[in-house]
Structure 1
Amino acid sequence: MEIADAVVIGGGHHGLVAAAVLADAGWDVCLLEATDVLGGAVRSAELHPGFTADLFSAFYPLAAVSPVLRALDLGSCGLRWAHAPSVLAHPARSDGAPAAVLHRDRERTAAALEPCDGEAWLRLCEQWDAVGEAVLRSLFTAFPPVRGPLQLLRRIGTADALRLARFLALPVRRMGEELFAGERARLLLAGNAAHADIPPDAAGSGMFGWLLAMLGQHGGFPVPVGGAGELVTALARRARAAGAALRTGERVERIDVRGGRAVAVHCATGRTVRVRRAVIADVAAPTLYRDLLPAAAVPSRLRADLDHFAWDTPVVKVNWALDGPIPWVNPGVGEAGTVHVGADGPGITRWAADIESGTVPATPFLLLGQMTTTDATRSPAGTESAWAYTHLPRDLADDAAAGGLADRVDEVVEAFAPGFRERVLHRMVQLPRDLQAADANLVHGAVGGGTMQLHQQLVFRPVPGLGRAETVVDGLYLGSASAHPGGGVHGVCGWLAARAALADQGLLGGLRRRVVSAALELVYRDSPSAR
């Protein structure tokens, strides 16, 4: 039987971050990954000779600003970033009219909008200059955040902080209407909001549209040179250099709990690792509480709350190897790394309404990546490695419906780029079941670790509680996208879990654990209504 200070369950990027942070602190760390490769939803592969495809996530604006990943100095482990000539483009129609295009130069972005909106865009950028750092600090810290909001109050004052809070709560459609008179600037917000699973008429969708638009404006949507897997390679090198042991092909089946504390993990291979200090779970919250922990360790109220846990909408993804660039009709689209295509602003609203009402969209809205345009190493010169994904309604596991939707993906691209199909050398579809088979955390093809809608964010993530990494079991911490701050490649979920584990072993660890335990007892105490 092995013994380690900490066991990390899952080798996604959050798990690798946690392993590196704990190993940096001098802990003996053992990471156990169920599949034969590390990375979770940050992986790439050669799907056609000479063409590298990112299998899941691809563009990393959050990684570029993550203080966690910056602190790990992944550049010293071989990671390099690449940028497309322009960040993203959104053609509203297929008639050749100029698309909305986001550049890393704010003046260039503003100049390409309708004349009535250029100055408004620059004012939005100035707003980000004033509040962006504090907003990111608030997002990338344990709940409840303190320093970020205080920084905001000092910088802009109480009155403007209240106005900012209202602004961030706006539905993206309303936000666009309040800020801009023309279509293109509104599209930049609406298309970015569609990266989350929040309907454009729902509160909070504006924040995601604004956040991603401003991140793209100020730092771009970078990709790792050579493929998404290079980010994982760098994280693995960093964790191993700190002393962490990373083991693949080790699926954890259960966690032992004794006296209310996690004391060991057991793998399907027969491997057992006893735990001196902490278990970090880079797994989906329902998997942790329903499958890995003994039933007696999970309060009935928490089990009842998990019945209301909502996944984000399933993804259908199509990957292509093309013998040339996509022949877009609309000017400016060919130089963008990310393309939002298939709907204008009202069309995105209709598309989201179809998904929320359980209807497979007849005309899907797509998020498309032109990877060779962004990173020339992804395919031979003059060709393009590309992908697009869209969504199905929740709880729809019909392969026929998903396959039909994948065919419509090609139809949409062909409509905006006549001749596209003639350039396809190879095509591979990833249905929701394929995504889950490749990474068990992508349940039903959901890639965000749970919905990003307001009822499952902050203190409500993954269920009503503290919105922190601590769990109802001492020494066990949730470090996946199911925990605050949620989906995206930023490493913060794993970092917060590791930092919580280290704090519980510090000088004030005993007091801290008692305070957290008392708070959890209040939240999850069984009641007659919960039984």
Structure 2
Amino acid sequence: MISPGSTGSERADAVVVGAGHNGLVAANLLADAGWDVLVLEATQVPGGAVRSAEVTAPGYLSDLYSSFYPLGYVSPVLRALDLSRYGLTWRQAPDVLAHLFPDGRAAVLNRDPAVTAASLEEFASGDGQRWLTAYDQWRQVADPMIGVVTTPFPPVRGGLDLLRRLRVGGTLRLARRMVLPVRRLGEELFAGAGGTALLAGCALHTDLSPEEAGSGVYGWLLAMLGQQVGWPVPVGGAQKITDALVARLTERGGRIHYGARVDRVLIARGRAVGVRTAGGRLWRARRAVLADVPAPALYLDLVGAAALPPRLVADLEHFRWDGSTLKVDWALSGPLPWRNPRLSTAGTVHLGADLGGLTRYAGALAHGELPRDPFLLLGQMSVADPSHSPPGTESLWSYTHLPFRRSWRAEEVMGHVERMEAVLEDAAPGFRELVVGRHVAGPAELEQANPSLVGGALGGGTAAPYQQLFLRPIPGLGRADTPVDRLFLAGSSAHPGGGVHGAPGANAARAALARDGVLRGDVYRYAVRAAHRAIYR
């Protein structure tokens, strides 16, 4: 291992900035193509927001950021890497998801469609069959939809497949569904509150409100994936995904340098030729530089406004982050004592609000206020994977969204932790008596541990439609290419955005390989340059 502060320079075909899962995916794909790959990671550990550690009490494993991975499980990107050869295995909780209403009722999503349907039938006669009908509609489009989500823009193959399956009329109706607010989608699909709550709670994994355009597609996607494949977890924690990616890369000769914070992309004649790390060390890239960092960090900090088209720099002023996040992990001496025992077998629980409460919660965030009644996304990790804690105990986490800010007072954060615990105590009396350890990660702590989580924002930018597809991260091509030749954006600020599916990293690697082609590479370069000139002149 070479100290990042030493003098001189080191060369590789590709330099990847950041060892988050997208950076590691990109590095693996380039190594598969025979490239010599060097990954530079600012922190002392790989994985970005896909990591695990014992932070609450000895013997209790916590996933520090994300835990449940339906998109990762079905992602053709991760499946093609065959990470099972490197120790990655999956487990499922008995129930995928439960949404607890303030009146104590719960809508439950189980991998058996009949069980889900029976739960929703309790909220309105006929809603069980309506769920089964919605699931049949999903199964018609599931494969091409996943392809659309995980391939570069425009998604030609997936789009043509959808058109073939649905024909023109069906495709137009699907397009309408994809821009509906989740409240409206739920009203169209269900008569009762249960089905809509399942969709709306899933939609609020993003920063969108139930009334915001585009929230419906996120709720529909996550809920239907839950019905189709569940929300699986890696056995032994999220860290196992990272460990597998690292093992695969090093087996192929890839190198990772830790504590190597990149502070500048080196550019010569309009082309990225390497990077500089803090302390002045130079790292030369013969073929490409790929950056698994947020778009503002790449363009404004690592490249610099002077090397970019003024229109691009102006567009970045309108880049919107997703909301800040507050995450709490608890070590419990026993299972949660739920008032409604139906929640005891759910890996994920949504609680603290019905649909009206979700709207009020999102409205407070939109006004920059801390919600008095926070909506909680909660993970019972020992229910999903018993290896997370000693037998008979529970490794529990919950997170809630906050208004986006870069600075929070400690008393604000801890005051909101108290509100979160009050919601839990009300739903599970005796919860506080079971706590044997607690770890609080507010926005500042999340960003300190992973600099890409700016202000505790987990998604690399808002999920709103005005910052998706060819508008992500700013109006452009919707691709990994940047106006700097051989420099590619490989993080979640790029299309298709946040989530542990590896698509931004894979898209960047594919773009780098296309640009490097002997003949096709020049055609690719001229086409991208012409498109950027038309957009940013």
**Cα distance in 1 for residues equivalent to 2:308 and 2:379:** 42
**Cα distance in 2 for residues equivalent to 1:328 and 1:140:** 38
**Cα distance in 2 for residues equivalent to 1:361 and 1:396:** 18
Q: CA deviation at 1:171?
A: 0.3
1:66 aligned to 2:78? no
Structure 1 residues 470-485: aligned runs within 5 Å = 470-485=481-496
Q: CA deviation at 1:269?
A: 4.1
Letter in 1 for 2:520: L
Q: CA deviation at 1:422?
A: 0.5
Q: CA deviation at 1:9?
A: 0.2
Contact 1:131 1:152 in 2 (8 A): yes
Structure 1 residues 31-46: aligned runs within 5 Å = 31-46=39-54
The one-character-per-residue Cα deviations of 1:186-235 (angstroms, maximum 9, x if unpaired) are: 11101101101111101100000000000111111111111111110001
1:504 aligned to 2:515? yes
Mark the CA change 1:396 to 1:92 in structure 2 (over 3 Å): closer, same or farther: farther
Q: CA deviation at 1:438?
A: 0.4
Q: CA deviation at 1:41?
A: 0.5
The one-character-per-residue Cα deviations of 1:110-160 (angstroms, maximum 9, x if unpaired) are: 111123201100011100110111111111111111111110111111011
Letter in 2 for 1:109: T
2:437 aligned partner:
426
**Cα distance in 2 for residues equivalent to 1:92 and 1:295:** 49
1:18 aligned partner:
26
2:110 aligned partner:
103
Letter in 1 for 2:443: P
Mark the CA change 1:40 to 1:396 in structure 2 (over 3 Å): closer, same or farther: closer
Contact 1:323 1:384 in 2 (8 A): yes
Letter in 1 for 2:419: R
Contact 2:140 2:165 in 1 (8 A): yes
**Cα distance in 1 for residues equivalent to 2:364 and 2:302:** 35
Aligned match for 2:224, one of 210, 214, 225: 214
**Cα distance in 1 for residues equivalent to 2:154 and 2:502:** 18
**Cα distance in 1 for residues equivalent to 2:259 and 2:402:** 31
Aligned sequence identity (%): 57
Contact 1:200 1:348 in 2 (8 A): yes
| Aligned-residue RMSD, C-alpha | 1.0
Aligned match for 2:95, one of 81, 86, 100: 86
Structure 1 residues 95-494: aligned runs within 5 Å = 95-97=103-105, 99-114=106-121, 115-395=125-405, 397-399=407-409, 400-494=411-505
**Cα distance in 1 for residues equivalent to 2:179 and 2:274:** 43
**Cα distance in 2 for residues equivalent to 1:426 and 1:275:** 46
**Cα distance in 2 for residues equivalent to 1:201 and 1:188:** 15
- SS where residue 334 of structure 1 aligns? helix
**Cα distance in 2 for residues equivalent to 1:373 and 1:135:** 30
Letter in 1 for 2:536: Y
Q: CA deviation at 1:403?
A: 2.1
Structure 1 residues 519-530: aligned runs within 5 Å = 519-525=531-537
- SS where residue 429 of structure 1 aligns? strand
Contact 1:257 1:294 in 2 (8 A): no
2:526 aligned partner:
514
Q: CA deviation at 1:446?
A: 0.3
The one-character-per-residue Cα deviations of 1:26-54 (angstroms, maximum 9, x if unpaired) are: 00100000000000011110111000001
Contact 1:33 1:248 in 2 (8 A): yes
**Cα distance in 2 for residues equivalent to 1:117 and 1:61:** 24
Contact 1:256 1:294 in 2 (8 A): no
- SS where residue 51 of structure 1 aligns? coil
- SS where residue 2 of structure 1 aligns? strand
Letter in 2 for 1:8: V
Letter in 2 for 1:522: A
- SS where residue 208 of structure 2 aligns? coil
**Cα distance in 2 for residues equivalent to 1:112 and 1:341:** 17
2:11 aligned partner:
3
1:54 aligned partner:
63
1:528 aligned partner:
none
**Cα distance in 1 for residues equivalent to 2:389 and 2:279:** 38
Contact 1:170 1:205 in 2 (8 A): yes
Q: CA deviation at 1:177?
A: 0.5
**Cα distance in 2 for residues equivalent to 1:36 and 1:396:** 23
Runs of 4+ in structure 1 off by over 3 angstroms are none
Letter in 1 for 2:452: N
The one-character-per-residue Cα deviations of 1:322-359 (angstroms, maximum 9, x if unpaired) are: 00011111131110000000001111011001101111
Contact 1:4 1:276 in 2 (8 A): yes
Q: CA deviation at 1:169?
A: 1.1
1:529 aligned partner:
none
Q: CA deviation at 1:246?
A: 1.2
Contact 1:86 1:102 in 2 (8 A): yes
